[in-house]
Chain A
Amino acid sequence: MLDKSFIGRKYEPFSFEVEKGRIRQFANAIGDDNPIYRDEAAAKAEGYRAIPAPPTFPYVAIMDADQAFTVLRDIGADISRSLHGEQWFTYQGLIYAGDVVSGRQKIVDIFDKKNGALEFIVTEVSLTNQNNEPVCAMKSVVVVRN
């Protein structure tokens, strides 16, 4: 069983530089052809101040900073038996190419189902940009299959 004493644990703040090329690479990988993710002029023509990051890109900040796997390693969960269970985003603003976003991960819950056959780790991160404006709050649920 996972150690429930990790509930409430806060991790050190992390930050992530949002590069234009990374947004393009991400958009190419997911096959989203929207020009706003590649072409600054197209983004500005639609009212964006720069190239915006796609809706699920905030999660890249978590993965790139190794935040999700750090939690699993700390708790002692087997990463090859861990699956993403849920992911939720609330947007207060947009993340743009050139921004630096920062956040701090918190473990908000650990619980099990089916007599411990499945365990769930719930984490939250709120990202703010370099102007200290909140841009995105995320909630993740990871399922560990025992």
Chain B
Amino acid sequence: MTQSPSFADVNVGDAIPSLDKPAIDRVQLALYAGGSGDHNAIHLDDDRAKSGGLPGVIAHGMLSMAFLGELVGNWVPQSQIREFGGRFASIVKPGDVVTCGGTIKAKDTINGENRVEVEIHAETGDGNRAIVGKAVVALP
């Protein structure tokens, strides 16, 4: 059960609980292709990825973004997420270990609802950012 933190108890600058995912492998890319409906060959077929100028298959950007969804959904109930997303800053490859984290950037009351803005990111080690994003969540 995801228990929501309260608006009064969080402060700008606070980190939200981080999320460490196991290394991405090609089986996960195949499962994600099936689950998501994204069958782009650059995620499944080395030859096709190389013909597109890539070093080999790369992970779906939306797979790492789904990890960020899990990060935020572990912190607050999903029904409280108002905005979510990000920019894909670098590619993620099989074998990469993605870790996710976030920091509270702002607290506001919008339309009578208490909301916080959180900078969220997915990294692949050595501080390399794969996704730089933002979530806005409502807090009681």
Which B residues, 37 to 92, have Cβ-Cβ distances below 8 Å to chain A? 37-38, 40-42, 48-49, 51-53, 60-63, 65-67, 69-70, 72-74, 77-79, 81-88, 91
Residues of A close to B42: CB separation below 8 A: 79-80
CB of A47 within 8 Å of the partner chain = yes
Chain B interface, number of residues (Cβ within 8 angstroms) = 44
CB of A114 within 8 Å of the partner chain = no
- What's the minimum C-beta distance from A41 to chain B, rounded to whole angstroms? 12
- What's the minimum C-beta distance from A50 to chain B, rounded to whole angstroms? 12
B84 contacts which of A31, A46, A84, A91 (Cβ < 8 Å)? A91
CB of B28 within 8 Å of the partner chain = yes
User: Known: A63-B36, A63-B38. Is A87-B86 also a contact (CB below 8 A)?
Assistant: yes
Contact in complex: B35, A29 (CB < 8 Å): yes
B73 contacts which of A29, A54, A69 (Cβ < 8 Å)? A54
CB of A71 within 8 Å of the partner chain = no
B85 contacts which of A64, A79, A86 (Cβ < 8 Å)? A86
Contact in complex: B83, A89 (CB < 8 Å): yes
Residues of A close to B31: CB separation below 8 A: 25, 28-29
Contact in complex: A80, B36 (CB < 8 Å): no
Contact in complex: B85, A29 (CB < 8 Å): no
Using CB atoms, name the residue of chain B closest to A85. Answer: B88
Contact in complex: B21, A26 (CB < 8 Å): no
User: Which residues in A have some Cβ–Cβ distance to B below 8 Å?
Assistant: 22, 25-26, 28-32, 34, 36, 45-48, 52, 54-56, 59-60, 63-64, 68-69, 78-81, 83-91, 94, 139, 141, 145
Counting from the closest, the 4 A-B pairs by CB-CB distance are A80-B52, A88-B85, A55-B69, A29-B35
